[in-house]
Structure 1
Amino acid sequence: MATPKRRKLETSEGSRPMSAFALRQQLLAASPSLSPAPQSEPAPESQASTPTPGRSPARTRPPKRTGNAERAEEPLQQQVAVSGSPKGQAGDGSSGLDAEAPAKPIPQQFSTFRPNKSNSRSYGIKVISGEVTVAGATIRPTDGIQWVHAPHCHGIPVVRCSDETTLELHPHPQAASLRKLERLSPLFRSLWNEPEETKSSKKRAAVDTYKIICTADDAPKRALIQDLRSLPAWNKKLAGLAKIKQDPALSVMLCGPKSSGKSTFGRILSNRLLTTPGQRRVARSVAILDLDPGQPEYTPAGTIALVQIREPNLGPSFTHVATDEQAVSIIRCHSIASVSPASDPELYLECALDLYSHYQSTCQGLPLIINTPGWVLGTGLDLLTELASSFKPTEVIYMSEDGPRESVEGLRAVCKANLSTLPSQQSEFTSRTAAHLRAMQALAYFHTRRSAPNLITWDPTPLTTSPPLLVNYKGRNRGILGVISYEYQPPPELLTETINGSIMCLVETVDPKAFGRLRGSIKGEEMDVDDAESSAKLEELVSRTTEGVPYIPNSDAQTLDPRHSQTLGLVLLRGIDTKAGALQMLTPIPLERIMAAKEAGHQLVLIHGKLDSPGWAYTEDLYYQSFGSNDADKDDTVEVMDEDTERDDSDKEPENPHLAGDVNGIPWIEVLQGHEKRPVGSRVWRVRRDLGRGAD
């Protein structure tokens, strides 16, 4: 019996010792069935069906022919060689016998689309023949160009298609302005898979707004990405919901803990309903009742809204947060002046019921998707059961199979046979927290600019360069009736300092009855008089600060009646000109919308509550000035922290505070030098609601 040593001596002269792995590679290279396919033919089925951990069934399909897609006409043979053969075996004549390194795991396949360049960023899909599926939406030749935004901080949408599909990929016309928001905040940096800064890359970036990620090896080296997935149980449920044909229309209420996949499932479901062939395609509309004030999809944080959508949703919320165009219509919006319904559960419930009432009157017959917050215990569960019993949806889906049991049983008692549970899907990689995403959404919201046709763009310059909207606050013909503080009423002498530099809600009151709760001596029915008398009675509610700013005292923590009011949007109070008697406001709300409310005789009020502090706005100038400097690292200018949240790490030292620039003359900004830390009491003060919870 030959020993290993003898086998080594018997090898032919000049040949190198060969490992088992190298021998296997040589045999594979010699097999004609595994050689790379020509460009015009799909990859071999054996390669596409190689078992890989974590791969979805859709990735077993053979790759498509790119047809007329100009960007997709890269040699397909190169991609097959990378994914199916070792280096040196794709036709360069090398034997591949020197490959003695350990076998690398087969890269995870993200898409059935097979060009050898990669996908992430912003682009448009136009189907020439066949059909393409992306984020639950089925795109056909009659759908025109569908625009996609795919940043790393969200799941990357997977493009799936068949062999016969021909499509075109188009650069996104608004991508450049969205990318430039990185000049204003590090939260928008390292999101788009940009190439390294070279002359050629800069020139190419002016034209290319996307890349295609076919495998995990194509992903950016410094980024953790995750493809947008729909679990098998989700797909089964989605298919069943899309086939339902009934009268009244389908209504689905999504419940579950935080980060369980409610928003993702709702987005996929809405895209599927919009693009499913049949009777729904004639209407081409879906109603969204977004009841999550912490992470809303189409409106800024702190609001809940009824929205009608006519096109698939193929981007994160900060890319369409201010839309009110042909594809998206905000039917009605309410603000609870907080990112959590816990601040005022009664107001939250009233606003939700009013939105549903408007759905019944204005959107009857449209499929309805109801998204709820992740508050599923205690008072949160009471709110969910109350909403479910009032809405009576045809389906209630709880996005977790792990409970809590109390929540599931409570909903089941109300919904009975209509409740079903689905497995949750939490993100494996999180580069942005919920607080970060709210800040990104707010920044994008206030930098939104309208552009035709039916597209929005973003202004990448600091808000300090934008002329503010001057609103007179003196006299009877002033622009606003006054300021109302929800939950906490600051002393009159501190009101102007409290609201200056803060974000507030601009609310339109369509009837004087909206103020009925704010003063016990003036009842709602007493205001049911003509305009002159109602205006006089409203003036009785108004007081003024020492600077003359009007406000409505609210020591009892009352609110406007949502049945007679609606929120137009958010405003950032940039400053108060006490000499001119004007408020300097920044807002993306169209001026014509504000003027229409005034011309209709409606009163406008500013609501001050517990919205997030706009720290992103205070630091825009500093980041803008330091962006692109030779001594500043754009990716690591400062440490991204959960500032002003429950997990506040703001006492930690920033990484490079000197890169922020000079802060002289800039309000609300401080830079810590060396080992300095914030003084005691400088962080956000919060009201504790659990005092004595652990007491005997």
Structure 2
Amino acid sequence: MVKRKAEKQQAAAPMSAVAARRARQQQAQNVSTTKGEAEVEIMTEPPSKKTRRSLDGDEPKKAECADIRVSRTSSSKKQDAPVPAETAKGRSKGSTRANQSDDAPPISEPQALDEQQEGSDEDQVGGPEDMSEDEVASIAGDADGYESPADTPAELQNFPLSKARLNKSKVVYADEGALCVRIKEKMNLALVGQYDLWVKRGVVSLMGAKLRPSSKVYRVYAPSTHSLPVIKCVSGVDGEAEVEFKSCNNGLARLRDASPLYQRIWNGQNTDADKIAIKGAAENWRRSFSVLYTSADDSMKRHLRPLHLDKKWSASMKALSQRQGRLRVLVCGPKASGKSTFCRYLLNHVLSPAPETENGYLNTDGVAFLDLDPGQPEFAPMGQVYLAHLKAPFFGPPFTHPSLDDSRDGHILRAHHIGATSPKEDPDHYAVATMNLLDQYRTLLAIYPQCPLIVNYPGWIFGQGLEVATWLIGCLGLSDVVYMSEKGPAEVVEPLNVAANAARVPMTILPSQPTEFVSRSSAQLRSMQIQSYFHLSHQAGLSNPQWSETPLSRTRPTAVEYAGEKQGIAGVVVMGSQINPNMLREVIEGAIVAVVEVESPRAFLGSSSSAERLSREDEQYGTGADDDVEMGSNESATKGTLASIEDGSVIRTPENLPYLFAGFGSCTPLDPKSSNCLGLALVRSVDTASQKLELSTPISSSRLYNAIEQGHRIVLVRGQLDNPNWAISEEYHAARAAERQYQQSVSRLRKNEDSLSGDDLVKHNQTMAVLRERIRRAGNVPWMTVVEDNSRRRREEAARREKSLWKLRKKAYPGSESETDW
């Protein structure tokens, strides 16, 4: 009775999602208080944010899972939490939790693995040998801000994705690697995966860009971590557009072997639309993309949604693009309001190769993109602000284009390392870096006078962030300001409006468009982006980048001398942390640093005299002439003195590392006017015997040689970025993946033979022994603990061990009591 009444009320008039949820909650309360009534099942909406899962949950029964926990801490003294690992065999086949997200990264409940792995053994591109039941990893608790998957309804909503339906009359041709179709006007098509798009006839729209017939092929990335891009026919010949989709193999999908965050994000098994007009294909053929009509077509049963722009967004983009070369727009707003999505669509819209006859304007100067969000940059790894000059649209999330080195479609003109994911750590340095990038844009205008400017401001919009935003509005010479929230707050909107009126700049307020279902948290997306950055390579002769799934520990590092006649590193800068020079090796070894070229000695701003710095160090740490801190050149090092080099002064540590030390226990940031960030590097080790640093970096050697030939010096900057836990666990995930793939290959051979022969059995046992030894060694590395038993007792034991390791790393200076506090 109560349920029918509630249904009638809901059907009487439309209501919002919040009102519907409240009605269902009230319905549940009424049913629980009514005696004798049948129990009513209440369906709740999935939360927009993922809830964090506690370690004190129900203990799984008969489950043995591998759980990697990284215990290393950064110099900023933030404790690292667990990172994912592969699950071990022997998991329970018991009841499953139906409310677990299907597109979520690995989970910690082994009971849910059966449902999540069902149909996923062959869901990845490349054939069934790439995945197995052991593919799913587990996350216990909160790892570096990683959030556990959100609880979702038991029954997935069958959400429409494509309006167009393919049949044999709409398919021009199809084979195992390509699909050419006709799309009627005002109809659209959604695909998941990776593909090359070639428009042969008509005009189609994709992620804000209007693509016309040409010989150019566009690379499109459509993972399930973001809303799927929709291909819509704008106009065509005889009312239809003809488009070809072609499979691509660039190695990005194989990163799932190095990190569980990359698992289950591309296309799965072939859909009915994929099989149209395919005859005589191989049994295990698979394209790198799949056509989806609804979310129910997805073999992995993920929460897939198409990305449709709000009408106000579309109208605003059209109005902004009409300003042509005079466009100077600042996009700002609160966090998770859709700023990056709006900038990406606006960028593609302005870069669309529109014919000159349409509006009398042909964009030949490209677009300048000033990215001021160091937490989630679009074309660079985290921790940087930069100015990029782009000449072609980009289709994909940031981790599909983490760098623009040697790219034909665009390049970064200048970048500065902020050293953190938020500007609030050092607002002054952030403002100076922003002004330098604006000067670089004015220089660009001398070459490309009709180059528009799009500025992406971070979600740091309160307090000092609001002051910086209003200051930028007054000094940027903008043409427009876009604020991405109709809900205010008033204390933010009013100052922005006042600043815009004072600068005589129109301000547009648009509704926010957050993602309803989130399968990766912001921290996880940052981890995916920086891991993609380190595995990326721009090969000569190829227009698109390539990725390698080989763990960084198995790649050959770059050895750079930090002392001696062939010294390649002028110094090391540590931002935001007060450390003793004796701890410099501890701080940089195994950490991510920025590689910065110093163009002149003026880059070392605020450096006081040698006597002042030495006295401050003595006062800060109590060091004197008798302390074991070696300062000076590597030949005539003297205690208590500073050694001068060509572009500044350094302190030599006991390992002879050149420490650019200034201020009260921390380093002054480099002056943006005289420095430029080339990229990031991972310091794998400090070899004190040969006095060399072993670095892993995707920076091309040509850029480094070019900087050295110009007489610039190379400086490493250690900021407050997240620790590279993904790099520590890569070898373990790769070893487990190699074992799975070998076992699957053996199982395929056994299908044809009842048992292995004697010699084959011996080889099989030897290979398995080698693989298991590799897994054992990969799991037995410093700062990482592999927990095979995922029971509550084992998790608590691992947590206690992490706590003890954290106290061990918590030393403030050599000889302190905390150094031996176990």
TM-score (norm 1): 0.74
Give the equivalent residue in structure 1 for 2:248. Answer: 172
Tell me how far apart the structure 1 counterparts of residues 454 and 523 of structure 2 sit (CA, whole Å): 25
Correspondence list, 1:518-667, <5 A: 518-520=607-609, 538=646, 541-556=649-664, 557=666, 558-627=668-737, 629-630=739-740, 661-663=776-778, 665-667=780-782
Give the SS at the match of 1:678: helix
Q: Which has the higher contact order (CA 8 A, sep 6+)?
A: 2
Q: Which amino acid aligns with 1:285?
A: G
Structure 2 CA distance for partners of 1:229 and 1:551, relative to 1, 3 Å: same
Tell me how far apart the structure 2 counterparts of residues 54 and 629 of structure 1 sit (CA, whole Å): 37
Instruction: Indicate yes or no: 2:213 matched with 1:141.
Output: yes
Q: Which amino acid aligns with 2:213?
A: P
Correspondence list, 1:405-554, <5 A: 405-416=490-501, 417-451=505-539, 452-520=541-609, 538=646, 541-554=649-662
Q: Which amino acid aligns with 1:304?
A: V
Cα shift at 1:601 = 1.1
Cα shift at 1:554 = 2.6
5+ residue gaps, structure 1, are: 1-51, 81-110, 524-534, 635-657, 687-696
* Identity, % of aligned positions: 33
Correspondence list, 1:31-46, <5 A: none
Tell me how far apart the structure 2 counterparts of residues 457 and 616 of structure 1 sit (CA, whole Å): 19
Give the SS at the match of 1:542: strand
Correspondence list, 1:296-307, <5 A: 296-307=377-388
Tell me how far apart the structure 2 counterparts of residues 185 and 659 of structure 1 sit (CA, whole Å): 17
Tell me how far apart the structure 2 counterparts of residues 632 and 378 of structure 1 sit (CA, whole Å): 56
> Does the 8 A contact of 2:173 with 2:181 survive in 1?
no
Q: Which amino acid aligns with 1:166?
A: E
Give the equivalent residue in structure 2 for 1:225. Answer: 304
> Does the 8 A contact of 1:518 with 1:560 survive in 2?
no
Give the SS at the match of 2:351: helix
- 1:555-588 CA-to-partner distances (Å, cap 9, x unmatched) read 3442111011110000000111111110000000
Give the equivalent residue in structure 2 for 1:358. Answer: 440
Cα shift at 1:264 = 0.4
5+ residue gaps, structure 2, are: 1-156, 613-642, 745-772, 811-822
Structure 2 CA distance for partners of 1:271 and 1:171, relative to 1, 3 Å: same
Correspondence list, 1:342-421, <5 A: 342-363=424-445, 364-416=449-501, 417-421=505-509
Cα shift at 1:169 = 1.1
Correspondence list, 1:112-123, <5 A: 112-113=187-188, 119-123=191-195
Instruction: Indicate yes or no: 2:343 matched with 1:266.
Output: yes
Q: Which amino acid aligns with 2:334?
A: P
Cα shift at 1:681 = 5.9
Q: Which amino acid aligns with 1:172?
A: C
Q: Number of residue pairs matched?
A: 560
Tell me how far apart the structure 2 counterparts of residues 54 and 591 of structure 1 sit (CA, whole Å): 48
Give the SS at the match of 1:620: helix
- 1:318-357 CA-to-partner distances (Å, cap 9, x unmatched) read 1111222110211111101111101101101111111011
Q: Which amino acid aligns with 2:782?
A: P
Give the SS at the match of 2:478: coil
- Alignment partner of 1:251 out of 310, 315, 328: 328
Q: Which amino acid aligns with 1:389?
A: G
> Does the 8 A contact of 1:306 with 1:331 survive in 2?
yes
Tell me how far apart the structure 2 counterparts of residues 521 and 130 of structure 1 sit (CA, whole Å): 69
Give the SS at the match of 2:269: coil
> Does the 8 A contact of 1:297 with 1:321 survive in 2?
yes
- 1:490-536 CA-to-partner distances (Å, cap 9, x unmatched) read 1111110111000000110111111132234699xxxxxxxxxxx95
Give the equivalent residue in structure 2 for 1:212. Answer: 291
- 1:370-390 CA-to-partner distances (Å, cap 9, x unmatched) read 001101111111111111112
- Alignment partner of 1:338 out of 407, 411, 420: 420
Tell me how far apart the structure 1 counterparts of residues 526 and 774 of structure 2 sit (CA, whole Å): 25
Tell me how far apart the structure 2 counterparts of residues 537 and 321 of structure 1 sit (CA, whole Å): 35
Q: Which amino acid aligns with 1:625?
A: A
Tell me how far apart the structure 2 counterparts of residues 330 and 347 of structure 1 sit (CA, whole Å): 20
- 1:196-253 CA-to-partner distances (Å, cap 9, x unmatched) read 9xxx99967776111112223323443112212210110111111122246xx20110
Give the equivalent residue in structure 2 for 1:678. Answer: 799
> Does the 8 A contact of 2:355 with 2:362 survive in 1?
yes
- Alignment partner of 1:190 out of 256, 264, 276: 264
- 1:136-172 CA-to-partner distances (Å, cap 9, x unmatched) read 1111112521110100001110011154211211112
Cα shift at 1:611 = 0.9
Tell me how far apart the structure 1 counterparts of residues 166 and 703 of structure 2 sit (CA, whole Å): 51
Tell me how far apart the structure 2 counterparts of residues 547 and 442 of structure 1 sit (CA, whole Å): 29
Structure 2 CA distance for partners of 1:160 and 1:623, relative to 1, 3 Å: same
Tell me how far apart the structure 2 counterparts of residues 146 and 64 of structure 1 sit (CA, whole Å): 25
TM-score (norm 2): 0.63
